[in-house]
Amino acid sequence: MRKTGQSGKAAPRTQDPEGTRRNILEIASEEFALNGLAGARVDEIAARTRSSKRMIYYYFGDKEGLYVSALENAYRQVRDGEAKLDTDGLPALEALRRLVEFTFDHHHRHQEFIRMVMIENIHRGEYLDRSDAIRDLNATAIDHIARIYARGVADKQFRPGLDPLELHWQISALCFFNVSNRATFSHIFGRDFGTTDALARLKDNTVEMVLRFVARKDALPDD
């Protein structure tokens, strides 16, 4: 017997349901990042995928359900990348450096993530609030940076008294702005902040700013 969705209609047949779902989320993320929740069209998403509009509704319920799932997937990608850094065996300064470098690179390579976060802020987090998964995913980010920070304080590399959540906020802000405001800065000031050389300088400066903020002065290497 074929399964039925919430609408009572038979579920569409597919030989690779997980692959189909990933494909839908990938294309939907691009559409939502480009056009927002209001402007994205399920018909357009279906036309660009290996699926149909009916199949999309079967997997995700409705357009808003698809949008929430795309948000979850965007956060899952960055958190999965952080988990693969394996920083627990590194000295705290090197672990923090690697985390900041990863965040900078990830945001540059996944600009749809930045745009989706910007769009969700326009909605004041309304749809994010519908997802327990996003809260759970992002709790791991704070646990990660808290472990690095605690190790650094214990090893007398980091100055005490900082809040890991606020530190996560500050790292995110530096790396986020590099993508979110690149176009306006480049046009206003007549310099392309997206060139390979510019990005390399910005990345180095971002790492140095974070390390100098967190580290004890006597723990930083001599220039």
Domain 68-217 in this protein, CATH class: mainly alpha
pLDDT value at residue 223: 58
**SS3 call for 215:** strand
Average pLDDT, stretch 124-138?
91
Domain borders along the chain are 11-61, 68-217
User: pTM for this structure?
Assistant: 0.86
| Pairwise pLDDT comparison (177 vs 8), residue with the higher score | 177
Task: Please name the amino acid found at residue 200.
Answer: A
* C-alpha 173 chain-centroid distance: 12
DSSP for 141-181 reads: HHHHHHHHHHHHHHTTSB-S---HHHHHHHHHHHHHHHHHT
pLDDT category, 75, cuts 50, 70, 90?
very high
C-beta separation of 192 from 198 below 8 A: yes
pLDDT value at residue 51: 83
pLDDT category, 16, cuts 50, 70, 90?
confident
* CATH number of the domain located at residue range(s) 11-61 in this protein: 1.10.10.60
DSSP for 85-135 reads: T--TTS-HHHHHHHHHHHHHHHHHH-HHHHHHHHHHHHTTTTTGGG-HHHH
Residue range 189-222, pLDDT digits in tens: 999 999 999 999 999 999 999 999 999 988 777 6
**Cα(72)–Cα(59) distance, rounded to whole angstroms?**
15
Which of 15-24, 109-118, 188-197 shows the lowest mean pLDDT across its residues? 15-24
